Amino acid sequence: MKQRIMNNVGLLVALSIFLTFTAASVVMYEKYNSYMQQDVKNEAKYIRYAIENIGEEYLTEETGNLTTSRITLTRPDGTVLYDSEKYPDSMENHKSRPEFESAREKGSGAVVRFSETLSEQTFYYAVKLDSGNILRVAKTTDSVFHTMLSSFTLMGVLLLAILTVGFFLMERQTKKLIEPINQLDLEHPLEHVEYEELRPLLKRVDQQNKQIAQQVQELRQAETVRREFSANVSHELKTPLMSISGYAELMKNEMVRPQDVPEFAGRIYDEASRLTSLVQDIIEISKLDEKSGEMPFETVDLYEVVQDISQNLTLPAKKRKVTVLTEGKSAEIYGVRHILYEMLYNLVDNAIKYNREGGYVRVRLEKEGEHVIFSVEDNGIGIPREEQERIFERFYRVDKSHSRKTGGTGLGLAIVKHGAVLHHAEILLNSEPEKGTKIQIRF
């Protein structure tokens, strides 16, 4: 960046000097031409005045020596009568010269002629006298371009000196300019903004830093969740398998009394059922993690889903002496039917499992504008406030001993959370220990 700034500024300085010199040369050329033309014109008028008053005898050798101009007098037919630099007899006829023709016809004429070999230019001005003769005054000088060319060496030295000083100053100024940029704290770019012009860029850097930090945090959290999930899955699968293996081994080795075989078979069946439920929940939550675009979305009447769930949980509710109350009417949303069923089933099932004898579970479905609100309320054991933020984590249990007794997999509420994300729904939780819990899903 530093080198680029210096190159650009150096080019700009050199171009500026060149353009300035060119412009000055053009202006000087025009002014010089104008001055020389006016000078010979004035001198011609002066000599004409002298001739008109004194006569042509005014034109002598001494007159020619008094001026640097060349004076020529001719007849109307172009014959030279007098010349301040040559003998008239040795000179050719001037009849065809443009300035003489113009003076003879119009009274005066001006011409500038260049000599490329001598790099000179001559300014001519001719005027017609009262006698009909033609007076011409000429001045020869070096051409303006020749003068400028002769100054190119000086200009080159001057340009080199200016560029040297300019590059030195640019080096210092560029270093001073870039130093605050090099000292920017890219971790906190908006803390010390030296140049307001950089603020939009630094804002973008700051936003990207925040996005990167958030992404890193999310990746770390995802990695932590993955590790915990793997460890929990291993543990949760190992426990029922060890139980099944232990009971089966006892029965195989005939270490169980015949009358106890049904009890052991029942335990094996319960553990196998728990294992099956766990595997199904793991598969379900894995599908939700993938957010597959092949999910069968359709129009679903949540009231029908709630009715099915209430019927399926009637027996477990009776066993626990819990009353399930259902309120609401038809309410349709666009979603995945089996995911919605799993979500609502898990919430109602938990409300029954974590209740007390004689308790109730109130399931309500209502519309609120364009939204559908599903809520489950119970007067069960409740959830401690410090645990409420974690209950939707995979395999997290508030009361692990109670969860073991109820046969939960620890994935039910995680499925609820991921299902809500899939359906762009919002989950609201309100719970107090020993008073009950209310969970709402706002579709």
Query: Residue 303's closest CA among 366, 357, 355, 350?
Result: 366
Q: What angle do CA 388, 420, 377 make, to 5 degrees?
A: 50
Amino acid type, 125: Y
Residue 62, token pair as written in the block: 């001494």
Could you tell me how many helices (H) and strands (E) the chain has, helices first? 12, 12
55: left (phi over 0), alpha (psi -120 to 50) or beta: left
Is residue 328 helix, strand or coil? strand
**Measured distance CA(435)–CA(337) in Å, rounded:** 32
**Measured distance CA(99)–CA(140) in Å, rounded:** 16
The answer to whether the pTM exceeds 0.85 is no
CATH 1.10.287.130 assigned to domain 207-290? The reply is yes
**Measured distance CA(51)–CA(81) in Å, rounded:** 14
Residue 191, token pair as written in the block: 């803390």
Which superfamily, per CATH, for 292-443? Histidine kinase-like ATPase, C-terminal domain (3.30.565.10)
Q: Where do you find CATH 3.30.565.10 in the chain?
A: 292-443
All residues at 6 or more sequence positions from 111 whose CB lies less than 8 Å from its CB, including other chains: 97, 98, 99, 102, 124
Q: Where do you find CATH 3.30.450.20 in the chain?
A: 2-150
- Could you report the average pLDDT of every consecutive run of 10 residues in the chain (443 residues)? 65 76 75 84 88 85 82 90 88 88 90 73 90 90 65 72 78 72 67 67 79 86 72 67 79 80 80 74 70 75 90 88 90 89 89 89 90 91 83 68 54 84 89 89 92
Is residue 307 helix, strand or coil? helix
The reported pLDDT for the residue numbered 402 is: 45
| DSSP annotation string for 431-443 | EETTTEEEEEEE-
Q: For residue 142, count other CB atoms closer than 10 A to its CB.
A: 13
**Measured distance CA(227)–CA(82) in Å, rounded:** 118
Which superfamily, per CATH, for 2-150? PAS domain (3.30.450.20)
Is residue 371 helix, strand or coil? strand
- Give residue for tokens 């249990």: 397
Q: Where do you find CATH 1.10.287.130 in the chain?
A: 207-290
Find the DSSP H helices in 313-358: 314-319, 337-353
The reported pLDDT for the residue numbered 34 is: 85
